[in-house]
Amino acid sequence: MSLLSAIKGRGPSGYGYGSTAEEVCAGVDLSGKTVLITGCNSGIGKESFRVLAARGAHVIAAARTVEKAQATAEELGFAGQASAVACELSEPASVFECVTQVKGLGRSIDVLMLNAGIMALPTLTLKCGYELQFFTNHIGHFILATGLLDTLSEDARVVVLSSAGHQMTPRGGIDFENLDGSKGYDAWKFYGQSKLANLLFARELARKFEGTKRTANAVHPGVINTNLTRHMHPFLTRVFGLFESITLKSVAQGAATQCYVAVHPDVTQSGKYFADCDVAGTSRYGQDMELAARLWDESERIVEGL
């Protein structure tokens, strides 16, 4: 147990900073349920795959290549309980093909867990004319989720991986006039912008779900030393490793909040932001529904132009 786990304890849900994905899913029967997870082959996506499959779910395992997804299913011992699909979020053709492949499975999706992402690219990188973190973390998932809306079950849950980093953004939250970084690039602010976009997407999707039993929520998993840090400056990576036992969550703890929001029967909220398995506060931009609606419209425009 890390020092922070001991200090923070548990919140109103009965879970907290130190809870694990296995703990929050204990006693939940997912037999007959279908869960799609992006980034299923590493980190908290892989742990979510393992835990939810162990509770009986059929997992549509999405990774950058079908080989990586299949290998993960075999490694975890759930090859017969999974459908492996390729979904390279930075490549629109791959995401559109993933939508086609998933629809071809003929399964109703009960949980759509938008987990994959990249973080803090040290230099400006573009894809289709847009900064890569925004394009991968938000637009890729936007294509996938909107493409699969008609496959969701009547009480489906959409869980979007955001971050506390959503509070560290350019002025205005989403800098619509600089989505290509041509007017200046800051690795962390653009990461924060992409995570704010994830949060706003969940909020706007929840608004569109109003009047149904479907829910959409965003989550902050905590600070975890996974391969998400692979693009960080080597010094910062070493710092993460040095303080891991004191300040960072384990992968099992990091996967807890998204698994809790995905399947725990006590979660009935929609349009919320969760951290440590409880509803948490956000930046003022994270509560701005006009910004959320504008982002949705701009995302549709971007996708139409691809």
Residue from 21, 57, 65 nearest 41 by CA: 65
By C-alpha distance, which of 224, 262, 265 is closest to 243? 224
Closest CA to 49 of 32, 67, 63: 63
Q: How many angstroms separate the Cα of 163 from the Cα of each of 57, 115, 221, 232, 298?
A: 26, 11, 7, 16, 22
The catalytic position among 185, 191, 260, 285 is: 185
User: Which stretches of 129-279 are assigned E, i.e. beta strand?
Assistant: 130-131, 152-161, 215-220, 273-275, 278-279
Non-local CB neighbours of 140 within 8 Å, separated by 6+ positions: 87, 89, 90, 92, 95
Query: Is 114:159 a contact under the CB 8 Å cutoff?
Result: yes
CA-CA distance, 40 to 58, in Å (whole number)? Answer: 13
d(CA 29, CA 33): 9
Q: Look up 260 and say whether it is catalytic.
A: no
Q: Which residues contact 99 (CB under 8 A, 6 or more apart)?
A: 143, 144, 147, 148
Tell me how far apart the terminal alpha carbons of the chain are, to the nearest angstrom: 47
* Catalytic center residues: 185
